[in-house]
Each structure stands twice: as C-alpha cells, then as structure tokens.
Amino acid sequence: MSADHPRDREMPALAALGRTELGRAVTGIATVHASIADTVFGGLRAAWGPRVRPAQMMHDAISTSTYSAIVSSVDVVGDLAESLADRHGGVPSETKRGAVAIGILDGLIGDQLTAEQSPLAPETAVRVDGAIVPITPEDLAGAFPRATGHLTVFLHGLMETEFAWELGGRPTYGARLADDLGSTEVMIRYNSGRHISDNGRDLAQLLADLLLSWPVPVTDLTLIGHSMGGLVIRSACHQAAAVDTYWPHLVRQTVCLGTPHLGAPLARGVHWATAALRLWPTSRPFGALLARRSAGVRDLFHGTVTEEQWRDTDPEAFLQPAVDYPPLMKGARHLYVTATVTRRPDHPFGCIVGDGLVMTNSGGGRDRKRHLGFEVDDGFHIGGAHHFTLLNDDTVYEWMLPLLRPRRALPPGSSPPESPPRPNTR
C-alpha cells in the first residue's frame, strides 16, 4: 500500500475532523451563551437602566476571552492529535470498531466528507473482513475461493456497515444461505450520507463490473438490503433497467428488511424540528446543527430513490413536495419484512411507532394513497421486534430460505406443486 493511499490517511483525517467538530461545538455553545446573556441583560436594563451596562461589558469580555482560549486549546490539541495519528497510523475502517464509528460519521455528514474528498468517505465497494476487494478476476478469486454462480448481495442501512449483519454474534444470513443453498455471500459497504440515488448509481455499476469479473458464470442474483439498503437496491435496479444493463435479468429476488419505502417519521420530525429551532436566536445554533444532516438522511423524508425526486427542490423548505415513486423492477420477486415493537401489528402503540424507526405501511410500500407494487403474499411481519432485529433473526431466515431457493424448470405439461401455507406474522 503506497504511503499516500487514502486508507493511510484515515487516522490523521479522524483527528482533524475531531478538532474541527469540537471547535464548532464550542462556537455553538458560545453563541447560545451570548443569546441567553443578551436576553437576561436586556431584562435587567429594563429594570435598572444604564447601571447594568458595565456589568454586561465585563461579562462579555470574560466570556469572549474564555471561549477564544478554549477554541485555541482545541486547535493545539488537534495539531498534536494529527501529528500522533500520522506517526502511528492505521486503517480504522478495516476494523469492526473503527468501521462502526466511521459508518455513523458517514451517515451524519458523509455527503460533506465526499465533497471534501476525505479518506473517511468510503467508496461503494465489496468488503471481506473489512478490507476492500478490488474488482479483478484475480482478487475476486482470492477473496472468494468457493465462489458459486448464485450471489447473495447485502446492503446495510443508514450509519451502518457490513459488520451490522453480524448482530448478536450469530452467523450472518449470507453465511447460512451459503450452507443451505450453496450461494456466495457478497457484502457491500457504501457511504450512507450520500444521496440514495448516487449510491444506487454506484451500486449498479459495481454489480455490472462484479459479474463480469466473477470467478464463475453467474446464474442467479439475490439482493438483500436492511433499511436504507433496500432503497439503494431499488435505486440501482431502476437505474440499471433504464439503460438496459444486463445484470437485472439475473436478479431472482430482492429482499427489503425494514425499509422505509414511503419515508421515515424520524427523518420528517428532524426536518420540521430544524425549521422550528431556527425561529429563535437562542435555539438557532441547534437548528443549524440539525441542518447539517446528510443528503442520505434528507432522502428518508419521502424515501426518494431517484435524482428526479430531489433535484430542483429546496431541502430546507418546511413543506416538501410529494414525489412519484418508480415502479418495482420487472422480472424479479420483491420480498419484504416489517416489524413492530408490539406483538400484534394492529396494537395502537405498534401502529404509532412501528419497529421504532419505520412504520409498517412504509415497510410494505402501501398506504391509502400509494402502492409501490409489493404483493401482500411476498411480505412477512414480526411482532415484538425492533428495527435492528431484522439484521439477523432466525424467524426471518426461516421465512426467507425457501423463497430464495432457485426455481427449477418443470417438465412440459406439469404444474407446480402447491406450496405449504406460510404464516405472515410471528
């Protein structure tokens, strides 16, 4: 690895970012302090007149010098941290703990990091044990010595990485599918702070390159996404099908686990809170902080998967215009799983909070006004579970397994056997 490779610059970049963000935090606190002080001294002036002015001047001088000293100290500590990180560097993104921290960071400000060409903004790439696998026949053969023609590709959600699929320390869905179906698990990491449509475009290109360089001919492709990952999959399928790329014809199933197809309430709440906090001087710094949320987070307001859905719109407008959702890709079966924190999906509390982050109707892509095309029989619901349960759950796997088995061609004149009844709740 060359000395100036982006991965070698991750530690210094983390130190520099920490210094910048801490400095911004101190400045924000100083702004809130000044706003509150102005309000207090304004009231005192109304009661005591000009006699308050000397005390206010002394207060302002002390507070200004104090916050300036703190910011200067942060700069000195930041310089030292950068120097030490540069001298004792490493690759945090290739370790589980480091990847988790950077994944959260990317979800918050990943679009900003991409614009700054920061080494902390990951490219959309195949990962094995945290490390990027170059898309060449030689590298793929080395990384996947037991490669088969059936690929199960996994996309994580917002602020996650591929390590999220290891929830609970149990074997991942991909590892279990490799044992039960002979498929090959392919983990993708992407920058969840970017627009979903941008990640979808990169995923579409990655899959095209991956299948061309795969060690054996690919016959079946299954795409599985958690939360935002399901939206990235839909975006990639839509963009690839629009230009008639070959790989969508190999997709047999897509599986969306807790995906907010119609948007997420939390994203809408943050959007409205940002607008409200900006109305008053005292709370304005907090509104400015929330306004820094990434393009990926903003896309979850509606669950936008195409550039047309967000282009030419004001991201700060209190009321966001409705969007037109593209249809599901033809030729594949589109499966989905939803959850509620309550045992019964129709429980009043479960209807309000869903799985904690995604509502049931959004996870199924259907409400009173919209229906994206998911079939009711292709869905599964878990009660008494939360959003992250869906990353690694025995009941989900048991439901999913028979539906992901390759379909065999039937002899002429024969009809398919009747499938056993499948429950749609746990």
Max Cα-Cα span within the chain: 100
Q: Would you state the pLDDT for residue 80?
A: 44
Q: Would you state the pLDDT for residue 109?
A: 84
Say whether 283 sits in a helix, a strand or coil.
Answer: coil
Cβ neighbours for 203, distance < 8 A, ≥ 6 positions apart: 124, 155, 188, 190, 232, 233, 235, 236
Say whether 257 sits in a helix, a strand or coil.
Answer: strand
Q: Per-residue confidence of the chain (426 residues) as pLDDT tens digits? A: 444 555 556 666 655 655 565 455 545 545 544 555 565 546 656 766 676 565 556 545 544 544 454 444 445 444 544 444 444 455 778 888 888 888 888 888 889 889 988 888 889 999 999 999 999 999 999 999 999 999 999 999 998 999 999 998 899 999 999 999 999 999 999 999 999 999 999 999 999 999 999 999 999 999 999 999 999 999 999 999 999 999 999 999 999 999 999 998 878 777 777 677 667 665 565 556 566 688 999 999 889 999 988 888 877 777 777 788 999 999 999 999 999 999 888 888 877 888 988 999 999 999 888 899 999 999 999 999 999 999 999 999 999 999 998 765 444 554 444 444 444 444
> Are 204 and 241 within 8 A, CB to CB?
no
Q: Would you state the pLDDT for residue 406?
A: 76
- How is residue 43 written in tokens? 């009231």
Domain ranges of the chain: 6-90, 91-407+417-426
Give per-residue burial for 294-314: e unless 16+ CB within 10 Å, then b. Answer: bbbbbbbbbbbbbbebbeeee
Q: CA–CA separation, 184 vs 211, rounded Å? A: 13
* First-residue to last-residue Cα distance in the chain: 49
User: Torsions phi, psi of 310, nearest 5?
Assistant: -115, -15
Fold of 91-407+417-426: Rossmann fold (3.40.50)
